């Protein structure tokens, strides 16, 4: 008798933006890294007096309360170019966007987008 293996259902970027859960099943659109407890880390890029500034906000908070040996939470993901990206592919260094060679358009909590 053959049994079927259930397929994983990853949520998309719109569902992640609207989610009120700290535990979402997502896959990075670039490297295919799977995050079983993903939560959204949003960025807004602004310029003021020729300086680049940024603001960040979690939509529901981070589950990285108990340190697990990781320097940065491995379940924090962002949305850029309307794709879910892990922090590495999202060009984030401890939550700070990398400012050089970064063409990404990050999504803010209201769905608006901004870039460096």
pLDDT in tens, 50-98: 888 889 998 887 766 555 566 667 888 999 999 999 989 999 887 888 8
Q: Is the pLDDT of residue 1 over 60?
A: no
DSSP assignment letter at 27: E
Residue 69: the pLDDT is: 62
- Give the pLDDT mean for 112-116: 90
Of residues 47, 116, 113, 39, the one with CA closest to residue 80:
113
Query: Percentage of residues in the chain with pLDDT exceeding 70?
Result: 85
- In this structure, how many other beta carbons lie within 10 angstroms of the beta carbon of residue 24? 21
DSSP assignment letter at 100: S
- Give Dmax (Cα) for the chain: 69
Those residues with Cβ within 8 angstroms of residue 30's Cβ, 6 or more apart along the chain or in another chain: 83, 85, 86, 89
Q: Are 100 and 89 in contact (CB under 8 A)?
A: no
Q: Is the pLDDT of residue 7 over 80?
A: no
Q: Look over the chain and give the mean of its residue pLDDT values, rounded to a whole number.
A: 86
Q: Is the pLDDT of residue 108 over 80?
A: yes
Q: Is the pLDDT of residue 3 over 70?
A: no
**Whole-model pTM?**
0.84
- Give the pLDDT mean for 30-50: 91
């Amino acid at each position: 008798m053959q049994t079927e293996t259930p397929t994983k259902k990853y949520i998309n970027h719109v569902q992640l933006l609207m989610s009120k859960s700290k535990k979402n099943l997502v896959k990075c659109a670039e490297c295919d890294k799977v995050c079983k407890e993903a939560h959204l880390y949003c960025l807004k890029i602004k310029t003021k007096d020729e300086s680049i500034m940024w603001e960040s906000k979690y939509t529901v908070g981070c589950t990285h309360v108990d340190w697990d040996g990781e320097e940065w939470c491995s379940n924090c993901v962002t949305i850029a170019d309307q794709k879910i990206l892990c922090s590495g592919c999202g060009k984030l260094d401890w939550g700070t966007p990398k400012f050089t060679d970064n063409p990404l358009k990050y999504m803010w909590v209201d769905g608006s987008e901004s870039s460096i």
